[in-house]
Structure 1
């Protein structure tokens, strides 16, 4: 199999485990995989930002805006936003290279099982949607692709109004933006919102607020990258 990023052939190192069993296929060669930086060490318990204390200053500010309780219970992100993953994400979602999403499949499934496995039977996955215009541009919704990796109940119950790309907005513009979502149906289970990247957390909190106001008992968020 060739590396999905550099197209070089992946040479498997022979060990007793993969000699006796079928070797596990890898999406990336060793060199490309080493470019992805998994978040390690201390992190904010709410947003997954690398931080030495339990709650980072940004999440403390969010709590003040909601009378001491954040609208999301916890976000978990897998990777740090570095140069390598930025290039992969750009080609994957902005240039329509759908197959590149498979680079993240194994880590996304494993991290979900490790962090959210206890919720699997009593929760529902909801991908953050694109506007119809943005979906037409890209051809697919990267959040839905990530959600489809996970073998549990999913519902596409949010609709997004078309607007300027989040990547074009300043931090202040993101935080102060109006809620771009509408809710198509209520959910009485715990929801795990899925998106590719957590930057300021505004997008996820907009969606979470709609869900909570409609009677959802709790909202977690699961993202590939912590920006």
Structure 2
């Protein structure tokens, strides 16, 4: 479901075709089937951690171009042009601080229409929180109401899938607004 490769994953960390993270999400009635699937281009490692930090936190926007070929190829392996592309938004404060939205930069690599239909309240950075704190984070997303979502299939775009909380919160808002299906596509799976 989340796209985590099972190679090298201990048997105790998976159940059938799901990793234990996905099992926990699916066992929770509030979150079951909110996010159809996630697919990621790369796995998180020390090298990728450095690259993402340079790009995202030190403002080296041009690094995104290095991902273009792999990002496009992997997107079209799992999705097609009929999906609405929705980048995970930043709060106004975070956008001002960073200077760009990394999820939108990734979405632009696909050369498909982008739908900015979510807004986000400002909270503490997810990267500063523990796993437990991330899982308990309140939903910071709102649907803008800019377009009807009935019968729409959506792909959320983000940089990193860590616990899945951010993507599921956004997916839940879009499902409540009428979206038929919400999946996600990220650059990295932690």
TM-score strictly above 0.5: yes
The alignment status of 1:202 with 2:174, answered yes or no, reads no
For structure 2, the 5+ residue unaligned runs are 8-15
Q: Aligned equivalents of 2:179 and 2:65: distance in 1? A: 31
* Counterpart position of 1:8: none
Give the corresponding residue for 1:48: 3
Runs of 4+, deviation exceeding 6 Å: none
Structure number with the bigger relative contact order (C-alpha 8 A, sep ≥ 6) is 2
- SS of the equivalent of 2:111 reads coil
Larger of the two Rg values belongs to structure: 1
Instruction: Give 1:187 shift.
Output: 2.0
Any stretches of 5+ residues in structure 1 without a counterpart? 1-45
Of 99, 106, 118, which residue of structure 2 is paired with 1:146?
A: 106
Cα distance in structure 2, aligned partners of 1:74 and 1:187: 19
Match of residue 42 from structure 1: none
Tell me the CA shift for residue 68 of structure 1.
8.6
The answer on 1:61 being equivalent to 2:21 is: no
SS of equivalent to 2:79: helix
List aligned pairs for 1:125-144, cutoff 5 A. Answer: 125-144=85-104
Shift of 1:69: 3.7
Q: Is the 8 A contact 2:31 2:168 kept in 1?
A: no
Cα deviations across residues 188-221 of structure 1 (Å, max 9, x unaligned)? 3110000000000000000000000111001010
The offset of 1:66, in angstroms, is 2.5
Say whether 1:87 aligns with 2:53: no
> Aligned-residue CA RMSD in angstroms?
1.4
User: 1:113 is matched with which residue: 44, 52, 76?
Assistant: 76
User: By percentage of residues, which structure has more strand?
Assistant: 2
